Amino acid sequence: MAFLPSLASVVPSAVPGALPAETTSVGSPALNISIFVGFVLVTLVVIIKVASGKKSAGEFYTASGGFSGRQNGVAIAGDYLSAASFLGIAGAIALQGYDGFLYSIGFLVAWLVALLLVAELMRNTGRLTMADVLSYRLKQRPVRIATAVSVLAVSFFYLLAQMAGAGGLVSLLLGVSGDAAQNIVIAVVGIVMITYVLIGGMRGTTWVQIIKAVLLIAATAIMTVWVLGKYGFNLSGLFQGAIDKNPAVGEKLLEPGVKYGVNMTTKIDFISLSLALVLGTAGLPHVLQRFYTVPTSKQARKSVEWAIWLIGGFYLLTLVVGYGAGALVGAEEINAAPGKANSAAPLLAFELGGSTFLGIISGIAFATILAVVAGLTITASATFAHDIYKEVIKKGESTSDQEVKVARIAALVIGAVAILGGMFAKSQNIAFLVALAFAVAASANLPTILYSLFWKRFNTRGALWSIYGGLISTIGLIIFSPVVSGKAPLVEGGPSPSMITNPDIDFSWFPLDNPGLVTIPLAFFLGWLGTVTSSEYNAQKYAEMEVRSLTGHGVAKALDH
Amino acid sequence: MSNDARTRGDEDPYVAMQATDEFQELRRKFRGFVFPMTAFFLVWYFVYVLLSIFAPGFMGTKVFGNITIGLLFGLGQFVTTFAITFIYARWANRELDPLADKLGSRLDGVKEH
């Protein structure tokens, strides 16, 4: 089982075990490891420098809103451009051409939802967690519990995908293989991440994300110029190179359909995925948490502006890097490498600049995973400590010190769960987890966020029906979809590409891999239905929320807490 | 908590603010910009996705060299995303912030909660 290449194209996949001889000779593991260790040491020094002794809850979860819009925008890019973006999209473009590009566009356009509808109003009405906004004018306890459940679910799926990806990346980049070695690396990643979070809180984590974003974008820009230079800065020539090197796909690399156009199910599946991507981003809890790290809505706007420029710029570079890998490395070699599609960018780095450049790219890929998991952990622990412990268990009667203590313990537990989950999931095909996180965010979180910010009549029953309905329907449909069981084997008698690799086990009845097309409209409908069947309405609280959301009144004061 | 009979001076300050023409103007301006803009980019994005899914041949038509219509449309998504970001930020800085600051500062004496 351990030798099965996973079909993950989005998340770096785990392929423990036998590495073909020619790939183990690519690059120098010692160099890769030392660059990674160097990154960890430098960022630790930065974290210790910026960490300021005792932390209030606001400091621990949001750095007391002390970042500028520009800093936060770079950090958002660092948080968002996960290994999936860097390795996954470049690899998808290298192998499937246009469809990989198509996929990246959804990730970018999604930011307009955050810019226009969510970021500023969230910043103005919330303080510490997403539930602050959702429970503002509704019944505190039930809405906080529901929101916390949904936030923890999204964070868990996302975290698991990243941690399992770390294991896969190891065999690819460090040349270590075998179960024990991979488990050790997952544990090391987890422990470093917990250290970042405990010492640095949100302030330290944000700086890690800023450093990582700068390194990642700079390295990708260098690769882009390098590739284009080889083709005389002629994009058309680069495409020709990719076509020539991949005769099996040929000209089809330049048009959509190689991956998503196979049949009607894959086509509808992609529409479903697009919907979840474009509406999910603005409902991802670790993204929303970042809007609290700036002092005002104007800075929140500026954060998203910067994030859009950087993320958009990055995906444009990825287009060149992806086709560059297709042209200079070739699909055959990429497919033969451990990690398959995910190895496209590292192999291109080796092709361009040898072991040293590969080492730099590998180190950055690790840094990427670290920064993303640290951001997720902060958000999940803030949700647990603030929404569950303080507001629900202690009914608001706990000090900031107690709350931070609980948040730290929560971070330790979440870190431990992530490490164990990553070890367990590393040989599983868990590519669907990132898509699942987006689908849950778009179904369970976004409808309630939009309704509470924009719909006067919205009330508690609507929120609960929408959150639980969105969450349960999304997870339920995934369980009964082909990603969990029942996909036909790629080769006769081979394993199924589903999570359950035994092709004889098949309990799927929902045809799509991505449930968003059903669950997102359903959650919006349930939010409406719950609201109109309940008479609850608090005019005074609605006025307070609306006035504050648009004028920013009370934000500065809230920061003193 | 029926406060219908109360005089304006006794009202909750937020309710009072919400009822002012100026606040309604701020709300109308904001929604009047972001709702149509959201509708526009969502429609344009899904037109692009649907064309890619159902008309791959058209999207694969070469315009010059190996540059296809699909690539130009895809790059068009980047252009519109950047343009909307730029236009919204400029507009909000100019039109929204002064009004929001003015109304917000009027509530400065109000205690929270």
For the stretch A287-322, pLDDT in tens is: 999 999 999 999 999 999 999 999 999 999 999 999
- In the block, tokens 């690399």 appear at A253
Greater confidence (A261 vs A380) lies with A380
A4: pLDDT strictly greater than 60: no
Interface test with B, best of A135, A246, A255, A453 (most B CBs within 10 A): A255
Calculate mean pLDDT across residues A26-52: 84
CA A405, CA A413: separation in Å to the nearest integer?
13
Calculate the average pLDDT of chain B.
Answer: 88
Mean local confidence (pLDDT), B41-60: 95
Kindly state whether residue A16 falls inside one of the protein's structural domains: no
Best residue in A239, A320, A547, A561 for a mutation probing chain B (most B CBs within 10 Å) = A547
Instruction: Please give the pLDDT value at position B33.
Output: 97
Q: Which residues of chain A make contact with B107, given a CB cutoff of 8 A?
A: 547, 551, 553-554
pTM: 0.91
Cα angle vertex A41, ends A226, A52, to 5°? Answer: 120
So what's the pLDDT on residue A176? Answer: 67
CA dist., res. A238 & res. A394, Å (int): 61
Reported ipTM: the value is 0.90
Domain housing B83 = 12-106
Task: List chain A residues with CB under 8 Å of B48.
Answer: 105
Domain assignment present for A1: no
Nearest CA in chain A to B93: A298
Of A102, A546, A557, the CB nearest to B18: A546
Q: What is the pLDDT of residue A499?
A: 81
pLDDT above 50 for B8: no
Residue B89's closest CA among B81, A271, A204? Answer: B81
pLDDT of residue A26: 62
Q: Is the residue at A5 inside a domain?
A: no
Asked whether residue A8 is domain-assigned, the answer is no
Mean pLDDT of A473-500: 85
Measured between beta carbons, the chain B residues lying within 8 angstroms of A303 are none
For the CA atoms of A338, A343, A348, A349, what is the dihedral angle to 10 degrees? -100
Q: What are A241's two structure tokens?
A: 């190179």
Structure-block tokens of residue A136:
């503002």
By residue count, chain A amounts to 561
Contacts of A231 in chain B (CB under 8 A): none
C-alpha distances (whole Å) from B85 to each of A116, A187, A315, B79, B80 are 9, 40, 16, 10, 8
Rg of chain A on CA atoms, in Å: 23
Burial class (CB within 10 angstroms; exposed 0-12, middle 13-18, buried 19+) of A301: buried
Place of tokens 């999940």: A380
Q: Nearest CB to B88: which of A116, A240, A552?
A: A116
Q: With respect to residue A33, please indicate whether it lies within any of the assigned structural domains.
A: yes
pLDDT at B68 over 60: yes
Distance CA A202, CA A208 (A): 10
The CA-atom distances, in angstroms, between A115 and each of A308, A472, B55, B88 are 9, 28, 31, 9
What's the pLDDT at A427?
A: 67
Q: Which two tokens stand for residue A249?
A: 């796909």
Q: Which residue is closest to A313 within chain B, CA to CA? A: B78
Report CA-CA distances (Å) from B56 to A196, A245, A258, B59, B78: 46, 22, 10, 5, 20
Residue A197 lies in a domain: yes
Angle A148-A12-A366 from CA coordinates, rounded to 5°: 85
Cβ distance A251 to B60 less than 8 Å, yes or no, reads yes
**What is the span of the domain harbouring residue A432?**
21-43+56-558
Question: What tens digit of pLDDT does each residue of A225-244 get?
Answer: 999 999 999 999 999 999 99
Residues of chain A with C-beta less than 8 angstroms from the C-beta of B62 = 254
* Nearest CB to B53; choose among A108, A271, A312: A271
**Which CATH number goes with the domain that contains A451?**
1.20.1730.10
Q: Is residue B7 part of a domain?
A: no
Rounded Cα gap, residues A274 and B100, in angstroms: 35
Q: Is the pLDDT of residue A8 over 90?
A: no
Counted domains in chain A:
1
| Three-class HEC string of B31-86 | HHHHHHHHHHHHHHHHHHHHHHHHCHHHHCCEEECCEEHHHHHHHHHHHHHHHHHH
Q: What is the pLDDT of residues A395-453, one digit of tens each?
A: 888 898 999 999 999 999 999 998 998 888 776 666 678 888 999 999 999 999 999 99
Chain A and chain B share a number of CB contacts under 8 A equal to 168
pLDDT at A260: 86
Chain B residues lying within 8 Å of A256, measured CB to CB: 52-53, 56, 59-60, 70
User: B54 to chain A: which residues are within 8 Å by CB?
Assistant: 267
Residues 6 or more apart in contact with residue A165 via CB below 8 angstroms: A11, A12, A13, A14, A83, A84, A369
Give domain status of residue A143, yes or no. Answer: yes
Please give the tally of structural domains in chain B: 1
Cβ–Cβ contact A278 with B under 8 A: yes
**Helix, strand or coil, per DSSP, at residue B3:** coil
pLDDT band at A171; cut points 50, 70, 90: low
Residue A7 lies in a domain: no
| DSSP string covering A195-251 | HIIIIIHHHHHHHHHHHHHHHHHHHHHHHHHHHHHHTTT-HHHHHHHHHHH-TTTGG
| Cα–Cα dist A320/A250, whole Å | 17
Q: How many residues does chain B have?
A: 113
